[in-house]
Amino acid sequence: MLQDFKQFILRGNVVDLAVAVVIGSAFSAVVTSLVKDLITPLIAAIGGQRDFSNLSFTIHHSQFLYGDFLNAAISFVILAAVVFFLVVTPVNHFIAFSRRNQKSADPTTRKCPECLSEIPAKATRCAHCTAKIEPTV
């Protein structure tokens, strides 16, 4: 049982997930700091409010602190933008660049001309309708 646990822990996807969580939490701290120390003061210079965390309103003696939510929403939008523009877009360009010179793989299946079922490309008879078919070379 201990050997099975060791195999589970040392699988590539478990280690990759652990690394992703650690890097993600560190990245989250960087983005939170970016919002708190740079973006919020920039908005404060324009709008006059320095810290959104103190924003609130009261209804029937219940206080709603919407400022923290506003800070979290700004952090989320910035994090999403950073991930999209600095991770997703470059990776997509890299993948497209690496695939531009590759030949497309020959199809392994084709449609039967009689019943339109998927059959192997080299088949001489359809498995579904038993029609005799010329093989593709």
Per-residue pLDDT tens digits for 99-117: 887 777 777 888 998 898 9
CB 126 within 8 A of CB 117: yes
pLDDT at position 16 is 77
β-sheet bridge partners, residue 62: 59
pLDDT digits (tens, 9 = 90+) for 37-89: 887 778 777 767 666 777 888 999 998 888 888 878 877 887 788 778 887 89
Structure tokens belonging to residue 28: 């989250």
CB crowding 5-40: b at 16 or more within 10 Å, else e: eeeeeeeeeeeeeeeeeeeeeeeeeebeebbbeebb
Distance CA 60, CA 14 (A): 50
pLDDT at position 137 is 64
Which of residues 101 and 132 earns the better pLDDT score? 132
Structure tokens belonging to residue 60: 């029937």
Q: Which residue has the tokens 């699988």?
A: 11
pLDDT digits (tens, 9 = 90+) for 9-44: 676 677 778 888 888 888 888 877 877 788 777 877
For the CA atoms of 64, 67, 71, 76, what is the dihedral angle to 10 degrees? 30
Domains by residue range for the chain, with CATH: 2-99 (1.10.1200.120), 105-137 (no CATH)
